[in-house]
Chains A and B, each alone.
Chain A
Amino acid sequence: MTETQTKNSYLEMDLLRFTTAGSVDDGKSTLIGRLLYDSKSIFEDQLEAIERTSEQRGDGYVNLALLTDGLRAEREQGITIDVAYRYFATPKRKFIIADTPGHIQYTRNMVTGASTANLAIVLVDARHGVVEQTCRHAFIASLLQIKHIIICVNKMDLVDYKEEVFEKIKQQFSDFSSKLSVPDIRYIPISALHGDNVVDESENMPWYKGGTLLYTLENVNINSDLNYVDSRFPVQWVIRPLSEEYHDFRGYAGRVEGGIFKPGDEVVALPSGFTSKIKSIETIDGKLEEAFPPMSVTITLEDDIDISRGDMIVKPNNQPTSGQDVELMICWLNDKKLNPAAKYIIRHTSREAKCVVKDVRYKVNINTLHKIEDDKTIGLNDIGRILIRTTNPLFFDSYKNNRSTGSVILVDEFTNETVGAGMII
């Protein structure tokens, strides 16, 4: 490759965000270590550092899992406490890994990692097959509308690389996954410890004809995962330079969260309902012909209408639902249980309001996906369906249609902690 080619291909590379899930000992850290190591994304000084630590701890081998345990307490206890983000690149793509802990008490961390992911890797131990954890993680991925799941059947080396074992697990999971709404599920037999089918094809499993994990990550098509149909532009900030040069400039800064905006488009501002036309889409580098997700731009309108942070610019013939009664699936993130008598602060796009919980419809048993109707207390790591009423109207879509305009967080008004993650139904 010539220098120019390297440079150009770098500038055209796209980005895949994925999350990894699996039980505590399914080899998640080893898999991530292996991906980084085999794709040559580990630097010598990092490797030396883990070699030193492995030796000190008496691991007897270079423990790739140490690469991902960044905090003192994690290294001491040998567990992952919180979501961490890792990065690597191949000539085709850049990758962001949301590395989430596998412990059951960290469901909230998995939800956090999954909220921005395009794809989820769910690890299954070949010796144990599909277990409760597998189903729970797949369910969370499905709930968070992750469209691609890769079931990595790990530790194939411990079952003599047998095809039957892999096929059986595949069948088990297919039976379960009929309850989920994930359009793209794939299965890859791997050994993270030895590197089979992670980056390099495995010589031990000639019967497997699919691509390696890295090949799949590089080639899965995520372009259609965003919503390019329903135009949504939540306003974050109004730009008024009041300088001599730009004295009359009034721009609405925000990020396109859906659809496509072009100069000349008729738009309506919510909540005022005033209509106007897009005069220009401005950036420091010049005016744009169009803006699409997830671009951050500044829009100017033909008319001076009253728009401020928290408002939303949309198309007149395609408006989001507007209202104060919102039905949510909620994942609870805090030790303090959801209090039906309390008021919470709700954040939705750039809008903030208060809300009360009007009803807890049911709690979900995340292992069986059954509704629990006799116990409706929602505590840490619980997922349930609730109805809330907000003090001001929100302009929203269902989470299924748009992850940005369909998601909210609840904040405790006294501790300021983020206590709930909600997906609008």
Chain B
Amino acid sequence: MISYNLSHLKQLEAEAIFIMREVAAQFERPALLFSGGKDSIVMVRLAQKAFWPAKLPFPLMHIDTGHNFQEALDFRDDLVKKVGARLIVRNVQDSINQGRAVEEKGPNPSRNGLQTITLLDAIEEFKFDACFGGARRDEEKARAKERFFSHRDEFGQWDPKNQRPELWNLFNGRKSQGEHFRIFPLSNWTEMDVWQYIAMEKLEIPTIYFSHKRTIVDRNGMLLAKSDYITLLKGEHYEERTIRFRTVGDMTCTGAVESEASTLDEIIQEVAAARQTERGTRADDKRSEAAMEDRKKQGYF
């Protein structure tokens, strides 16, 4: 007898596809936020599956901080071409030039907070009413509270105390003029699920996820890549190490891990044995106990 039992990864896939189709049907102008990182790569794959053999019924949008890894940008352009999707890029630098955003001061300026401004401006510019994000609830404690359909007010703000209850698989995307939704189809996925899915689907990922030699600076245990956007502090020096990245974000706040993992299988083994969360390498989360929650309230993903 055939067993009608769907593995958990297939169940998560089916759930994410279901949500993407709900969004296409319930909203007029959705967009998929795409950074070139592993989660957004999985999102693009799921979107392809949801609408195949038709093309994606929404564009991809990248909010470029200007501090990205070149490898990730090259990968992004390559993927967009292969998928035949439409890509919209909006730059944090433009927001700074227009005086909409002000660069942080200090030795380790981060544009993470500024991203929110550029994102909200772009949402307004294109009148997007729903933006897919690859965020997962296992990433961070504030995200554990997040809904699949995350309501945002006219200022793009998230109010954790005023979220719509989500029951069964009935998603309510109704909203007033000017409001929008952030949609997180990967809510129920863990870092491990994402890696296993990348392996199962044989998805390509940017090379910086694999072990390589790179010049870094060790800043309080954070291994930051050498770049034009970082200034050495007193007593610091550059050195070469064998590293890889667990997350791909801004070069100024994405820490590397020392690793020899050069294949997907090795990465999966490494993730399985990891004693640190993936965001343990992100300086932006360590700024305060509620850093993520505060950023989300302002309109971050």
A36-56, CB under 8 A of B: which get 1 and which 0? 000000011110010001000
Check if A72 is an interface residue, CB within 8 A of chain B: yes
Within the complex, which residue of B6, B144, B268, B289 is in contact with A7, where a contact is CB–CB below 8 Å?
Answer: B268
CB distance from A256 to the nearest CB of B (A): 9
Contact of B50 with A70 in the complex, beta carbons under 8 Å: no
- The stretch from B7-15, B61-69, B88-96 touching chain A is B7-15
Within the complex, which residue of B11, B175, B193, B265 is in contact with A294, where a contact is CB–CB below 8 Å?
Answer: B11
Cα(A226)–Cα(B277), bound, Å? 34
Residue of B nearest to A49 (CB): B289
Q: Which B246-278 residues have a C-beta within 8 angstroms of A?
A: 265, 268-269, 272, 274-277
Q: Which B34-65 residues have a C-beta within 8 angstroms of A?
A: 48-55
Check if B81 is an interface residue, CB within 8 A of chain A: no
Are A73 and B52 CB-contacts (below 8 A) given A296-B21, A411-B172?
A: no
A contact residues around B7 at 8 Å (CB): 11-15
A contact residues around B54 at 8 Å (CB): 239-243, 246
Check if A215 is an interface residue, CB within 8 A of chain B: no
Check if A143 is an interface residue, CB within 8 A of chain B: no
Cα(A10)–Cα(B196), bound, Å? 8
A contact residues around B24 at 8 Å (CB): 237
Check if A255 is an interface residue, CB within 8 A of chain B: yes
Are A43 and B51 CB-contacts (below 8 A) given A7-B265, A223-B4, A408-B170?
A: no
Residue of B nearest to A421 (CB): B167
Residue of A nearest to B272 (CB): A6
Check if B142 is an interface residue, CB within 8 A of chain A: yes
Contact of A45 with B51 in the complex, beta carbons under 8 Å: no
Cα(A296)–Cα(B48), bound, Å? 13
A contact residues around B17 at 8 Å (CB): 255, 296
B contact residues around A177 at 8 Å (CB): none
Q: Interface range on chain B: under 10, 10 to 19, 20 to 34, or 35 or more? A: 35 or more
With most chain B CB atoms within 10 A of its CB, the pick from A86, A87, A223, A243 is A87
Check if A245 is an interface residue, CB within 8 A of chain B: yes
With most chain A CB atoms within 10 A of its CB, the pick from B13, B140, B174, B187 is B174
Q: Which A236-273 residues have a C-beta within 8 angstroms of B?
A: 236-237, 239-243, 245-246, 249, 251, 253-255, 260
Cα(A6)–Cα(B141), bound, Å? 28
Check if B235 is an interface residue, CB within 8 A of chain A: no
A contact residues around B170 at 8 Å (CB): 347-348, 407-409
With most chain A CB atoms within 10 A of its CB, the pick from B52, B192, B200 is B52
With most chain B CB atoms within 10 A of its CB, the pick from A89, A236, A285 is A236
Cα(A49)–Cα(B193), bound, Å? 24
B contact residues around A253 at 8 Å (CB): 21, 50-51
Cα(A409)–Cα(B174), bound, Å? 13
Cα(A69)–Cα(B165), bound, Å? 18
Check if A20 is an interface residue, CB within 8 A of chain B: no
Contact of B4 with A292 in the complex, beta carbons under 8 Å: yes
B contact residues around A283 at 8 Å (CB): 49, 52
Residue of A nearest to B16 (CB): A296
Contact of A223 with B175 in the complex, beta carbons under 8 Å: no
Contact of B50 with A416 in the complex, beta carbons under 8 Å: no
Contact of B160 with A71 in the complex, beta carbons under 8 Å: yes
Are A11 and B200 CB-contacts (below 8 A) given A333-B165, A409-B170?
A: yes
A contact residues around B86 at 8 Å (CB): none
Check if B280 is an interface residue, CB within 8 A of chain A: yes
Check if A197 is an interface residue, CB within 8 A of chain B: no
B165-190, CB under 8 A of A: which get 1 and which 0? 11111101011100000000001101
Contact of A295 with B14 in the complex, beta carbons under 8 Å: yes
Cα(A68)–Cα(B144), bound, Å? 9
- The stretch from A107-115, A124-132, A154-162, A371-379 touching chain B is A107-115
Contact of B277 with A246 in the complex, beta carbons under 8 Å: no
Check if A116 is an interface residue, CB within 8 A of chain B: yes
Within the complex, which residue of B138, B199, B289 is in contact with A87, where a contact is CB–CB below 8 Å?
Answer: B138
Check if A390 is an interface residue, CB within 8 A of chain B: no
Check if A284 is an interface residue, CB within 8 A of chain B: yes
B contact residues around A285 at 8 Å (CB): 49
Within the complex, which residue of A3, A43, A237, A241 is in contact with B277, where a contact is CB–CB below 8 Å?
Answer: A43
Check if A84 is an interface residue, CB within 8 A of chain B: yes
A contact residues around B289 at 8 Å (CB): 49, 53, 72, 75
Cα(A251)–Cα(B6), bound, Å? 23
Contact of B53 with A82 in the complex, beta carbons under 8 Å: no
Check if B145 is an interface residue, CB within 8 A of chain A: yes
Check if A418 is an interface residue, CB within 8 A of chain B: yes
Within the complex, which residue of B140, B165, B172 is in contact with A347, where a contact is CB–CB below 8 Å?
Answer: B172
Contact of A45 with B276 in the complex, beta carbons under 8 Å: yes
A contact residues around B50 at 8 Å (CB): 253, 296
Check if A30 is an interface residue, CB within 8 A of chain B: no
B contact residues around A49 at 8 Å (CB): 289
Cα(A14)–Cα(B48), bound, Å? 24
Are A284 and B49 CB-contacts (below 8 A) given A87-B138, A347-B170, A411-B174?
A: yes
Check if A350 is an interface residue, CB within 8 A of chain B: yes
Check if B137 is an interface residue, CB within 8 A of chain A: yes
B contact residues around A82 at 8 Å (CB): 145, 160-161, 163
Contact of A295 with B6 in the complex, beta carbons under 8 Å: yes
B contact residues around A29 at 8 Å (CB): none
Contact of A239 with B53 in the complex, beta carbons under 8 Å: yes
A contact residues around B15 at 8 Å (CB): 294, 296
Within the complex, which residue of B187, B190, B293 is in contact with A72, where a contact is CB–CB below 8 Å?
Answer: B293
Cα(A75)–Cα(B145), bound, Å? 14
Q: Which A96-116 residues have a C-beta within 8 angstroms of B?
A: 96, 108-109, 111-112, 115-116
A contact residues around B49 at 8 Å (CB): 283-285
Cα(A82)–Cα(B150), bound, Å? 14
Nearest 6 pairs of A and B residues by beta carbon: A70-B141, A15-B8, A296-B17, A416-B174, A241-B54, A284-B52
Q: A11-B9, A309-B25, A409-B170 are in contact. List 14 more A-B contacts (CB 8 A).
A: A3-B269, A7-B265, A46-B277, A70-B144, A70-B293, A81-B161, A83-B145, A85-B187, A223-B3, A223-B5, A228-B4, A243-B55, A350-B22, A418-B164
Interface residues in chain B, defined as those with a beta carbon under 8 Å from any beta carbon in chain A: 3-15, 17-18, 21-22, 24-25, 48-55, 137-138, 140-145, 160-161, 163-170, 172, 174-176, 187-188, 190, 192-193, 196, 199-200, 265, 268-269, 272, 274-277, 280, 289-290, 293
